[in-house]
Amino acid sequence: METKPGGRGHPGLKESVEICPQGLLVFTGSSEQDSNLAKQFWVAASMYPTNESQLVLSRGSSQRLPVARASRGGATESPDITAETLKTQQSEDKEKYLQKAKRRDEILQLLRKQREERISKELVSLPYKPKAKGHKAKKVIPESDKEDQQEVKALD
């Protein structure tokens, strides 16, 4: 048995806590209100898993929350507001796509310009480039082909 002087901040009060073999706490020498408060504290402070973590999922259940679906003309929205919202959304989308198309055209125009500049520079430098010396091997025509060619000429 353990005694603590000044239980719950009272300087003259002695409180004893007894731990029973079952693991239960017994408060002796305290008022009933103090022991009830202490019991409430220890019950709340125990580290039991929460109810949610003890739930067992059945086969068809899922832990995901349902996804909110777009309301289709609910009681709070009027058809005029949804139609107007839809029109503004469509116009914003159209504007966005037009901007992307304009940017694409600008990029293609820049690429064409760069290509033309590159080609013109190559044409200017072409006369000054050294000629590539390639080994041109003479075609060796087999004798049988020569004879065939002569026979064809003779037929003409």
* DSSP for 35-103, written as a single string: HHHHHHHHHHHS-PPPTGGG----TT--SSPPPPPPPSS-SSS-HHHHHHHHHHHHHHHHHHHHHHHHH
**pLDDT, the chain, mean:** 75
Amino acid at the residue 5? P
Nearest to 27 by CA among 8, 10, 46: 8
> Is the overall model pTM greater than 0.75, yes or no?
no
- Over range 117-125, report the average pLDDT: 92
Alpha-carbon distance of 131 to 150, in angstroms, equals: 37
Tell me the per-residue pLDDT of 5-56, one tens digit each, with 9 for 90 and over.
Answer: 444 444 444 445 555 555 566 667 778 888 888 888 877 776 666 676 666 6
Question: What does the pLDDT read at residue 11?
Answer: 47
Q: In this predicted structure, what is the pLDDT of residue 47?
A: 65
